[in-house]
């Protein structure tokens, strides 16, 4: 049962204005619009909560994270039903994404109990050192304070109200204020109910989690501008991310803005792999490009290969594979409309050939594939931009030098992929140093959709993939975004933060 309200410091608040979700089918649900005043109250409550939550033991924080996960699972059937209604995503995908979301919360619970995120360092005093004695120096990572979180439309669970940013901030000891995403307010409502139940069950301060539902851009701007907010975790489009990043930077006291934005995730199909396995790679690409209607930030939108008969055969193979894939429902009418406009723009770009193109149904997207030469691609910046949906472009280089030029000209990416066989080793070796400077993750012989949540994952990249390439929004190291190193000099032991080891928790 939906509340239709914003959860602010433990209270469900309404307003005299409302908005509705846009269900794929069935009657829309109505929600009270959040207000700047609610944002203000949420931020003040988050700051108040910080004075207890920020100093709580890792065992208590882990218990809270695990309880949130349990409460989400307890509402699993309702969340999936609402997700299918609001987003058009299939049941299995939503169930899988919920598994990932609760898995992230539980992973962070285990991570903080391991003591690793505190990254404690100690340089003991050297009183007899000449010519100067050394004081006792200890470094601890401390939580930074209230964090603002913006989720994305395409991951209504794993990158939204209880998603990776929220999990990482709460694990670090930072209260969270979420700006509810307008594409899935019903899911956000149910997730907030799970938080309310977890807060009551564990007795943490209710200001630890607030969520203000859609009230237009003004809510997001108010939140990022709020003087009590210490950092922002954002997942979404380049346009919105850049607008909010600029606000964060223009504040009297600028704050870090961890924006995970779009990417076109280029793949380089190297000559021997193209000859030996071109058809298989083309089929795999078709699957990855159209998975979830292409609405993944890791969607591989570009394939770069060398000209020749094999390139033509590859184009024919991907064309055939895409012809068999039907149009799919998009997350929102707005995203479907933007896809229609973006693909029409590609189709009329100079010297771009259409390989696969069909009409997009209402709130839907059909696969679209284009091809062009590397020299033409290099001359048109617009061809490098993300079109959110199942759209790909084949970039055909006349030689390896041109393939390198394409790699060199890439904007920052979440991922870059090499398809290679043994005979491609030298070419691959020449590309890797370039791609390392472009992407947060480099794959060999795979497809970038599907991001493992684990210790080694990096989901980030140089701008515009991310606004902060030293960080990642997926994987346990994501917690470091919300911690700040503090050095304590000659501090009495009982005034130092506690370091928890697994042994302490047994
Ligand atoms: P979006 O339109 O950028 O929306 C994200 C959030 O920003 C919403 O809460 C939206 O709410 C707010 N917003 C939009 N424009 C704003 C503005 N001018 N000022 C202030 N706030 C604004 O993105 P989306 O459709 O949710 O997500 C799709 C994009 O996310 C794709 O580009 C995809 O590649 C990217 N993505 C990236 C990752 C990653 O990890 N790198 C993961 C998933 C998705 P309001 O409209 O209510 O203000």
Residue 119 clears pLDDT 90, i.e. is over it: no
Write the DSSP assignment of 209-220 as a string of letters.
EEEE----HHHH
Residue 502 clears pLDDT 60, i.e. is over it: no
Residue 234 clears pLDDT 70, i.e. is over it: yes
Residue 272 clears pLDDT 60, i.e. is over it: yes
Regarding the beta carbon of 188 and ligand 1, being less than 6 Å apart is answered no
List the end-to-end C-alpha distance of the chain, in Å, as a whole number.
40
Residue ID of nearest Cα to ligand 1 atom 20:
217
Q: CA-CA distance, 94 to 156, in Å (whole number)?
A: 9
Which CATH number does the domain 267-444 belong to among 3.20.20.60, 3.20.20.70, 3.40.640.10, 3.40.309.10? Answer: 3.40.309.10
Q: Which of 43, 174, 297, 416 is catalytic?
A: 297
Regarding the beta carbon of 235 and ligand 1, being less than 6 Å apart is answered yes
Distance 239 CA to ligand 1 centre (A): 8
Closest CA to 416 of 396, 395, 446, 391: 446
Contact 162, 195 (CB under 8 A): yes
Residue 199 clears pLDDT 90, i.e. is over it: yes
What is the pLDDT at residue 111? 93
pLDDT in tens, 306-354: 999 999 999 999 999 999 899 999 999 999 999 999 999 999 999 999 9
Q: Given ligand 1 and candidates 33, 237, 261, 412, which is best to mutate, with the most ligand atoms within 8 Å of its CB?
A: 237
Residue 8 clears pLDDT 70, i.e. is over it: yes
Known catalytic membership, residue 260 = yes
Residue 505 clears pLDDT 60, i.e. is over it: no
What is the pLDDT at residue 181? 97
DSSP annotation of 183 reads T
Nearest atom within ligand 1 for CA of residue 460: 41
Write the DSSP assignment of 23-61 as a string of letters.
-SSS---EEEPP-HHHHHHHHHHHHHHHHHHTTS-HHHH
Q: What is the average pLDDT across 47-53?
A: 97
Nearest atom within ligand 1 for CA of residue 182: 47
Nearest atom within ligand 1 for CA of residue 183: 26
Distance 73 CA to ligand 1 centre (A): 26
Distance 259 CA to ligand 1 centre (A): 10
Give the lowest-confidence range in 389-393, 453-457, 491-495: 453-457
Percent of the chain with pLDDT over 70: 98
pLDDT in tens, 80-111: 999 999 999 999 999 999 999 999 999 999 99
Residue 116 clears pLDDT 80, i.e. is over it: no
- Give the pair of three-digit tokens for residue 144: 């930074």
Q: Given ligand 1 and candidates 163, 240, 339, which is best to mutate, with the most ligand atoms within 8 Å of its CB?
A: 240
Same fold, 30-124+136-261+466-505 and 267-444: no
Q: CA-CA distance, 84 to 23, in Å (whole number)?
A: 8
What is the pLDDT at residue 499? 66
Q: What is the average pLDDT across 284-290?
A: 97
* Secondary-structure class of domain 30-124+136-261+466-505 per CATH: alpha beta
Give the lowest-confidence range in 115-129, 199-213, 267-281: 115-129
Tell me the average pLDDT of the chain: 95
Known catalytic membership, residue 416 = no
What is the pLDDT at residue 359? 87
Residue 435 clears pLDDT 60, i.e. is over it: yes
Residue 120 clears pLDDT 70, i.e. is over it: yes
pLDDT in tens, 218-233: 999 999 999 999 999 9
Residue 394 clears pLDDT 70, i.e. is over it: yes
Where exactly are the structural domains of the chain? Answer: 30-124+136-261+466-505, 267-444
Q: CA-CA distance, 57 to 340, in Å (whole number)?
A: 51
What is the pLDDT at residue 214? 87
Residues 2, 7, 13, 15: is their CA dihedral positive or negative? negative
Q: What is the average pLDDT across 195-222?
A: 96
Percent of the chain with pLDDT over 90: 93
Distance 262 CA to ligand 1 centre (A): 9
Q: CA-CA distance, 372 to 361, in Å (whole number)?
A: 26
What is the pLDDT at residue 114? 87
86 φ, ψ to 5°? -80, -35
Regarding the beta carbon of 149 and ligand 1, being less than 6 Å apart is answered no
Q: Are strands 368-373 and 391-397 parallel, antiparallel or unpaired?
A: parallel
Regarding the beta carbon of 33 and ligand 1, being less than 6 Å apart is answered no
Residue ID of nearest Cα to ligand 1 atom 17:
240
Regarding the beta carbon of 468 and ligand 1, being less than 6 Å apart is answered no
Regarding the beta carbon of 256 and ligand 1, being less than 6 Å apart is answered no
Residue ID of nearest Cα to ligand 1 atom 15:
240
Confidence grade of residue 506 (pLDDT, cut at 50, 70, 90): low
Distance 216 CA to ligand 1 centre (A): 12
pTM for the whole structure: 0.94
Q: CA-CA distance, 275 to 266, in Å (whole number)?
A: 19
Q: Which of 48, 67, 97, 260 is catalytic?
A: 260
What is the pLDDT at residue 106? 97
Distance 124 CA to ligand 1 centre (A): 47
């Amino acid at each position: 049962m939906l509340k239709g309200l914003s959860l602010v410091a433990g209270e469900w608040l309404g307003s005299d204005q409302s908005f509705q979700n846009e269900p794929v089918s069935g009657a829309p649900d109505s929600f009270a619009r959040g207000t700047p005043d609610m944002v203000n109250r949420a931020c003040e409550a988050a700051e108040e909560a910080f004075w207890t939550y920020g100093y709580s033991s890792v065992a208590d924080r882990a218990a809270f994270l695990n309880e949130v996960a349990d409460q989400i699972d307890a509402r699993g059937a309702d969340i999936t039903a609402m997700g299918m209604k609001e987003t058009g995503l299939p049941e299995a995908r939503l169930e899988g994404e919920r598994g990932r979301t609760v898995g992230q919360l539980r992973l962070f619970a285990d991570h903080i109990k391991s003591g690793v995120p505190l990254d404690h360092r100690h340089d003991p005093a050297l009183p007899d050192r000449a010519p100067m004695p050394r004081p006792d120096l200890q470094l601890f990572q401390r939580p930074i304070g209230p964090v603002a979180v913006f989720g994305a439309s395409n991951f209504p669970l794993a990158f939204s109200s209880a998603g990776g940013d929220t999990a990482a901030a709460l694990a670090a000891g930072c209260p969270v204020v979420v700006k509810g995403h307008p594409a899935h307010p019903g899911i956000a409502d149910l997730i907030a109910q799970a938080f309310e139940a977890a807060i009551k069950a564990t007795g943490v301060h209710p200001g630890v989690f607030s969520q203000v539902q859609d009230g237009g851009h003004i809510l997001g701007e108010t939140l990022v501008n709020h003087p009590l907010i210490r950092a922002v975790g954002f997942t979404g489009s380049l346009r919105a991310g850049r607008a909010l990043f600029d606000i964060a930077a223009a504040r009297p006291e600028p704050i870090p803005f961890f924006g995970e934005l779009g990417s076109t995730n280029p793949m380089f199909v190297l000559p021997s792999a193209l000859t030996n396995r071109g058809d298989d790679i083309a089929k795999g690409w078709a699957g990855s490009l159209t998975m979830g209607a292409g609405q993944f930030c890791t969607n591989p939108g570009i394939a770069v290969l060398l000209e020749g008969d094999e390139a033509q055969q590859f184009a024919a193979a991907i064309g055939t594979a895409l012809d068999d894939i039907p149009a799919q429902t998009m997350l929102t009418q707005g995203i479907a409309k933007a896809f229609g406009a973006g693909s029409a723009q590609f189709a009329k770009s100079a010297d771009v050939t259409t390989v696969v193109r069909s009409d997009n149904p209402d709130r839907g997207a059909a696969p679209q594939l284009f091809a062009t030469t590397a020299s033409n691609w290099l001359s048109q910046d617009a061809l490098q931009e993300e079109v959110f949906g199942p759209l790909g472009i084949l970039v055909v280089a006349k030689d390896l030098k041109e393939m390198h030029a394409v790699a060199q000209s890439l904007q920052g990416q979440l991922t870059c992929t090499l398809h290679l066989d043994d005979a491609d080793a030298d070419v691959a070796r020449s590309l890797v140093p370039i791609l390392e400077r472009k992407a947060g993750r480099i794959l060999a012989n795979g497809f970038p959709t599907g991001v493992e949540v684990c210790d080694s994952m990096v989901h980030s990249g140089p701008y515009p993939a991310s606004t902060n390439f030293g960080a990642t929004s997926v994987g346990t190291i994501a917690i470091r975004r919300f911690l700040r190193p503090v050095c304590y000099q000659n501090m009495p032991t009982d005034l130092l933060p506690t370091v928890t080891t697994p042994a302490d928790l047994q």
